[in-house]
Every structure is written in structure tokens, then in C-alpha cells.
Amino acid sequence: MVHPLPKSWSIHTRPEITAKYEILERVGSGAYSDVYRARRLSDNLIVALKEVHDYQSAFREIEALQMLRNCPNIVVLHDYFWREDEDAVLVLEFLRTDLAAIIRDWKKKGGGVRVGEVKRWMLQVLCGVDVCHRNMIVHRDLKPGNLLVSDDGVLKLADFGQAKILMEPGFDGVNNNQQLVVEQNTRYQENVTPPLDVVPDAHSLPDQGLNKQVVEDTNREEYLRQFVELKAKRHDMDETNKETNTNDGYSSCLATGTISDVDDDPLKSSYSYETEEGGVDKDGALTSCVGTRWFRAPELLYGSMDYGLEVDLWSLGCIFSELLTLEPLFPGISDIDQLGRIINVLGNLTEEFWPSCSKLPDYKIISFAKIENPIGLEAYLPNRTPDEISIVKRLVCYNPANRATAMELLNDKYFNEEPMPLPISELHVPLTKNDHEEDSPGGWNDYDDMGSDSDSGDFGHFKVVTTGFGVSIQFS
Ligand SMILES: Nc1ncnc2c1ncn2[C@@H]1O[C@H](COP(=O)(O)OP(=O)(O)OP(=O)(O)O)[C@@H](O)[C@H]1O
């Protein structure tokens, strides 16, 4: 659906943007942004202008996309506008549809999935995630709706507003493709031979205008200068926004949900929770309030602020399962329900599965009744082959260290045997993106709620028990 232009439109009143772009229509909006289709006046290129209303999110997205430029399965950042007193505007390549729309289209048409197609889509997702992870960037919001697709079938990871660089990369790691590859991380560096070549994207040519920020032939010094400048700006803004800021490390989401979940919770008076605001390393700690619930890893649901790239691997497993079945694997209606669904399938989270799980911040706060006979992932993947089930199991598992990396999966025989992955040129890309709005209630309309962080849904049966750690909520 194309949204009509609102009358008061901040992007429209910014001469530095309108001098270079004709704004055509609003094509989407998210938690932090409004996205417009626009035409670049210099060469008529159609682009997406993403006006980001949260500077932290804008910074993250720019920082990550700068590092990942020239990667074929990552959305191209052509340019950006960043001024202290205005919302940042990112100029992105325009991609008309996404994997969620493709899944909806398959479902609507019936007839199941074509394995060759599933393989090609999944390979493209894996390539995008692999390049992020080799650069120590955790995306933190992988879901079909954030995997944009071009008219000719190229899939690109987008929406890096929650992305985080897990360590400062060594700039010496710039390789021929100008990607920054971190040497320190052995798990992700062993046998690094990208199975699919990373080649510069034809559409990634830089903007040549006055506000040029992303330059294809940027040398290392210039790149470093821009990066340092942007960081300094962020630091200044951090200082001025200290009062209201919720940086990583300043907030903790308990397994009961996000802080807003707790605030909204009608049962809030029947239990308590404590959040440690002090003593958390501002620069080092992460927040657990990330990602869209259906794709959120259990360690995040249990409040971890010490997680790694593996949270993306869990999301990948949910995405692969959805490609195979056309249904979301864990469509939780609240964070508690999300955890309950996972536990019903995998069994209770115990040290048998993940030896250090009891150290998760909320592990002792939330306890579920013992699940004697977990359903198992197989039950959710009827008629799928053992290889397909095995891949889902290698991603959707409790212990993050046991999750298969994107690189390992790219080399998995599944993607190299019949039926072979379809060539990109043979992938079917639906013409429209939002035809699900016509669907019947209870169908794909529900899909729009997958990102909601409000726990106003059904909590099911529970009992509140006082323990040595405070109050425990037990669900059955
Ligand atoms: N490059 C693009 N090309 C075309 N449409 C886009 C592009 N980027 C984003 N959009 C559209 O705008 C919507 C919002 O964008 P995006 O998901 O990046 O924003 P967000 O505020 O970070 O969202 P979220 O609430 O999912 O975190 C997307 O669902 C998509 O429909």
C-alpha cells in the first residue's frame, strides 16, 4: 500500500534534500522511520529516502552500511544527510518487495514451496548474514520483512537500525572489496573462503553530488576520517541526550518482556522485577530489547545482555523454517508466550542443553512447568527432508555456541545437491508487496503484529511464587 503524503512533511521542507531528490511517495514506515520513494535529479535513479527519527538507530544503520558497502546481499547506502538538529535521512537503493511478501505470495497461490527456490533465497540470506558476521556486525532484527528483494530477484539485508558492531574492527582488515574483516575472531575466521564471491554491486555507484558521503573509491584514510567524524558527532549527541537516552547497556528487558511490557502489564502489581541501571558498562553492555519477537533468540527473552552474533543465527533458523512451511515457527503474542512456545517445542531450558543458562539474568525469575514431552521441531516441519530438519535444528537450539554459522551452512551439502538452487533470474518476484491486506482476518493480517513489544496478550495459566531471588512467575 502506498501511503498518501502527509501535509506537514519534514523531509519535504529540507532544501538540501529537495535540491537533489524529487520525493514521490511514502512507501513504508517502521518504529523509527518513514521511508519514501524518490528520484535522484542528477540521473533519475529511483531511491528510497529513509528518514530516521532516532539518532541512535540512524547512527547504527549508517555505521553498519558504511562497513558493508559493496556487498551484493546488503542494501546499498548511496548517501546520507546528517545534521544535529534534524532527523537523519539515508539514501538507500530502492527495493520494491521483501521475503515476507514472497512467502505470502506462495501461501496465497497454494501448491507448496519449490525447494530450488527456497535454497536460492536462503543462500542469499546466508551470504548477507555471513558478511555481517565476518565483520563482527550483529544485525539483531533479522526477519523476512527486513530482507528486501529487487525486481530481478536479488535479496538484500536491510534495516540495520538495531545493528551493533561487536568490536572495533582493525582498519588494516580492509580487503580488495573494501570490507573490514576482523582477524581476532577465530570461530568466524577459520577457513574464510567466501563460497560465493563478493563482487561490487552495479547499483552501488556513489552519489556524485555535493553531499557525497559514500564514495566507491574512498581510500582508507578518507574512510577512517568520515568514520571518526561521525563517531565524534555521535559522542556530542550522546552527551546532550544523556537524560533521555536508552543506549545499549542502559536498559534491561526481563523475560517478562520489554520495560514497556511491564509497564503495560495489568498483572504488574502481582510480581516485581529489578533492573540494574547502575554498574553497567555503557560501552560494553548490550540490551536484550532487540529484534522482532517471533525471531528473538531465547537468551534475549531471558534478558541476556552478553550475547553475540548467534542471536542472528536463531533468527535465521526461524526464517528457514518459515520458508519451508510458509508459517512462522514461533508466533508469540507476548514475550512470555514466545518463550512458552519455544519451551513447548524444545523442552525446558536446562543446563543439560546449555551449561551456563542459569546465569541468564532472568533465568531464575521465570520458570515454566516441566514439559515432559516436548513437541520437537520435526512436528513443525511435516513432510520436510531430514536434511532440512537438521538445518533448522542446528540453528534453533538453546546453546548459542552450538548454532551453525552462516559460513558453515553456505558450505552445507544441502545447498549443493538436487534439487539445485534455482538461478536468481528464475526466481519469482511478486508484483505487489502488500496484497495480504485483502486476506481474511486471522491470516496474514496477524503477521503485522510480529514486531509488537506489548505484552497485553493472553498470559495463560501462571502462579506467582516467592523465592530466594524475589518473585518467580510459573507458567503452565
Ligand atoms: N531500501 C528500501 N526500499 C524500499 N522500501 C524500503 C526500503 N527500506 C525500507 N523500506 C520500506 O520501509 C519500511 C520501514 O523500513 P525499515 O524496516 O528499514 O524501518 P524501521 O523503522 O527500522 O522498521 P522496524 O520497525 O521494522 O524496525 C519497510 O518495511 C519497507 O516497506
Average of per-residue pLDDT across 188-192: 33
What pLDDT sits at residue 391?
A: 98
Alpha helices in 309-428 (DSSP H): 310-325, 335-346, 386-395, 406-410
**234 contacts: CB under 8 Å, gap ≥ 6:** 55, 59
Average of per-residue pLDDT across 30-51: 96
Closest residue by Cα to residue 198 from 177, 169, 217, 173: 177
Under 8 Å between Cβ of 258 and 456: no
* pLDDT band for position 167 (cuts 50, 70, 90): confident
442-469 per-position pLDDT tens digit: 333 344 445 444 333 333 444 444 455 4
50 in contact with ligand 1, CB cutoff 6 A: yes
* pLDDT band for position 278 (cuts 50, 70, 90): very low
**How far, in Å, from the CA of 57 to the mean position of ligand 1?**
13
As a three-state string, the secondary structure of 317-343 is HHHHHHHHHCCCCCCCCCHHHHHHHHH
Neighbours of 417 (CB within 10 A): 10
- Residue to probe by mutation, ligand 1, list 50, 62, 436, most atoms within 8 Å of CB: 50
What's the CA gap between 359 and 86, in Å, rounded?
Answer: 42
The domain ranges of the chain are 10-198+215-427+460-475
154 in contact with ligand 1, CB cutoff 6 A: no
End-to-end CA distance of the chain: 41
**301 contacts: CB under 8 Å, gap ≥ 6:** 255, 288, 335, 338, 339, 342
Using the predicted structure, report yes or no on whether residue 189 has a pLDDT greater than 80.
Answer: no
What pLDDT sits at residue 296?
A: 97
**How far, in Å, from the CA of 47 to the mean position of ligand 1?**
13
Which residue's CA lies nearest to atom 23 of ligand 1?
A: 30
Compute the residue count for the chain: 476
**135 contacts: CB under 8 Å, gap ≥ 6:** 67, 68, 165, 169, 179, 180, 181, 182
pTM of the model: 0.75
Average of per-residue pLDDT across 163-185: 49
What's the CA gap between 283 and 247, in Å, rounded?
Answer: 9
Answer yes or no: is the ipTM higher than 0.85: yes
**How far, in Å, from the CA of 30 to the mean position of ligand 1?**
6
Q: Classify strands 470-475 and 462-467 as parallel, antiparallel or unpaired.
A: antiparallel
145 in contact with ligand 1, CB cutoff 6 A: yes
- Residue to probe by mutation, ligand 1, list 11, 21, 24, 27, most atoms within 8 Å of CB: 27
What's the CA gap between 48 and 38, in Å, rounded?
Answer: 6
What's the CA gap between 92 and 75, in Å, rounded?
Answer: 7
In CATH, 10-198+215-427+460-475 is 3.40.50.1110 = no
Which residue's CA lies nearest to atom 9 of ligand 1?
A: 35
Amino acid making up residue 340? G
Q: Which atom of ligand 1 is nearest to the CA of 31?
A: 25
Average of per-residue pLDDT across 104-131: 94
**407 contacts: CB under 8 Å, gap ≥ 6:** 130, 133, 134, 188, 191, 192, 195
Using the predicted structure, report yes or no on whether residue 282 has a pLDDT greater than 80.
Answer: no
310-366 per-position pLDDT tens digit: 999 999 999 999 999 999 999 999 999 999 999 999 999 999 999 999 999 999 998
Which residue's CA lies nearest to atom 30 of ligand 1?
A: 28
Q: Classify strands 33-40 and 137-138 as parallel, antiparallel or unpaired.
A: unpaired
What pLDDT sits at residue 442?
A: 33
Is 50 within any annotated ligand binding site? yes
What's the CA gap between 31 and 256, in Å, rounded?
Answer: 21
95 in contact with ligand 1, CB cutoff 6 A: yes
* pLDDT band for position 426 (cuts 50, 70, 90): very high
141 tagged catalytic: yes
What pLDDT sits at residue 250?
A: 30
Q: Where are the beta strands (DSSP E) in 125-216?
A: 137-138, 147-149, 155-157, 164-165
All three cell numbers of 191, joined, read: 577457513
Neighbours of 316 (CB within 10 A): 28
**Which candidate in 141, 248, 261, 337 is catalytic?**
141
What's the CA gap between 206 and 427, in Å, rounded?
Answer: 28
Higher pLDDT residue, 367 or 438?
367
* pLDDT band for position 112 (cuts 50, 70, 90): confident
Alpha helices in 34-150 (DSSP H): 55-67, 99-109, 115-134
Phi-psi region of 249 (alpha: psi -120 to 50; beta: other; left: phi over 0): left
